[in-house]
């Protein structure tokens, strides 16, 4: 059983408005991410301020349990709020998030008995496009928060984290777009153009 947790909080300063709710191809950006990963999950939740339009979208909305703690605080809320033992944790700003890569990570989580499976690219680790074993990771994340850490990877040395190499990741993401972040209106427009141009990784996934 799997929970999908989409981190949809943050200040969205560069976007100039709530990034999660910014329209992308006719749907809120957070729904674009949800649409692409829904088939993998038995439960979906949004980690966000529990007010306004996001409450109308469908999934359960969970506010940060420890506010102003950065990405690590969002990860903690996702793990603590999940109903299932395996948790997909992703950001709301990746319009080309890769379901096949996430599915591969879930398989490794089970087959290798890892605590977490985190892909990497030539730019580094991608902890917000990753999967986590709730029971194993939650105490380590909490301990890092208690030490004042804010980085999503701060607790990795205390856990059995399986890193997917850039080469492993590229098998599923040959175009190198899975981790593209739409943080500004210009980046969102670029992503929309890519999606309109088509291609396996850029496709428009329709709601189920």
Q: Does residue 149 register a pLDDT over 90? A: yes
Indicate the SS3 state at residue 59. coil
* Dihedral angle over CA of 23, 82, 68, 145, nearest 10: -140
Beta strands in 60-203 (DSSP E): 60-62, 86-91, 116-121, 124-125, 129-133, 161-164
Q: Please state the rounded mean pLDDT for residues 107-111.
A: 96
Q: What is residue 147's predicted lDDT score, i.e. its pLDDT? A: 94
| Per-residue model confidence as pLDDT tens digits over 153-171 | 999 999 999 999 999 999 9
Beta strands in 69-196 (DSSP E): 86-91, 116-121, 124-125, 129-133, 161-164
Q: Where do we find the tokens 């299932």?
A: 84
Decide if 102 contacts 141 (C-beta within 8 A). Answer: no
Q: Please state the rounded mean pLDDT for residues 69-83.
A: 96
Query: What residues have CB less than 8 Å from 11, skipping those under 6 apart?
Result: none
Radius of gyration of the chain (CA): 16
Q: Where do we find the tokens 């989580």?
A: 109
Tokens describing residue 61: 């909305």
DSSP states of 13-33 as a string? TTTTS-GGGSEETTEEHHHHH
Indicate the SS3 state at residue 118. strand
In the chain the domains, ranked by start, together with CATH numbers, are 2-197 (3.90.550.10)
Q: Categorize the per-residue pLDDT at 206 as very low, low, confident or very high, splitting at 50, 70 and 90.
A: very low
Q: Categorize the per-residue pLDDT at 12 as very low, low, confident or very high, splitting at 50, 70 and 90.
A: low
| Per-residue model confidence as pLDDT tens digits over 24-36 | 988 999 999 999 9
Beta bridge partners of 117: 131, 162
| Cβ count near 17 (within 10 Å) | 10
Q: What is residue 129's predicted lDDT score, i.e. its pLDDT? A: 97
Cα 165 to Cα 19, 20, 158: the distances in Å are: 29, 29, 20
Alpha carbons 127 and 198: distance in angstroms, whole number: 27
């Amino acid at each position: 059983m799997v929970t999908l947790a989409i981190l949809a909080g943050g200040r969205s300063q560069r976007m100039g408005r709530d990034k999660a709710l910014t329209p992308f191809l006719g749907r809120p950006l957070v729904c674009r991410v949800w649409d692409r990963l829904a088939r993998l999950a038995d439960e979906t939740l949004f980690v966000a301020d529990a007010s306004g339009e996001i409450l109308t979208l469908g999934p359960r909305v969970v506010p940060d349990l420890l506010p102003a703690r950065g990405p690590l605080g969002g990860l903690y809320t996702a793990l603590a709020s999940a109903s299932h033992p395996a948790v997909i944790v992703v950001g709301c700003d990746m319009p080309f998030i890769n379901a096949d890569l996430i599915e591969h990570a879930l398989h490794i989580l089970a087959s290798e008995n890892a605590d977490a499976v985190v892909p990497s690219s030539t730019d580094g680790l991608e902890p917000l496009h990753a999967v986590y074993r709730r029971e194993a990771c939650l105490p380590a994340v909490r301990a890092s928060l208690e030490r004042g850490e804010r980085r999503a990877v701060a607790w990795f040395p205390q856990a059995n984290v399986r890193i997917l190499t850039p080469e492993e990741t590229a098998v599923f993401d040959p175009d190198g777009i899975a981790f593209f972040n739409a943080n500004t209106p210009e980046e969102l427009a670029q992503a929309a153009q890519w999606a309109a141009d088509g291609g396996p990784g850029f496709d428009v996934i329709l709601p189920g």
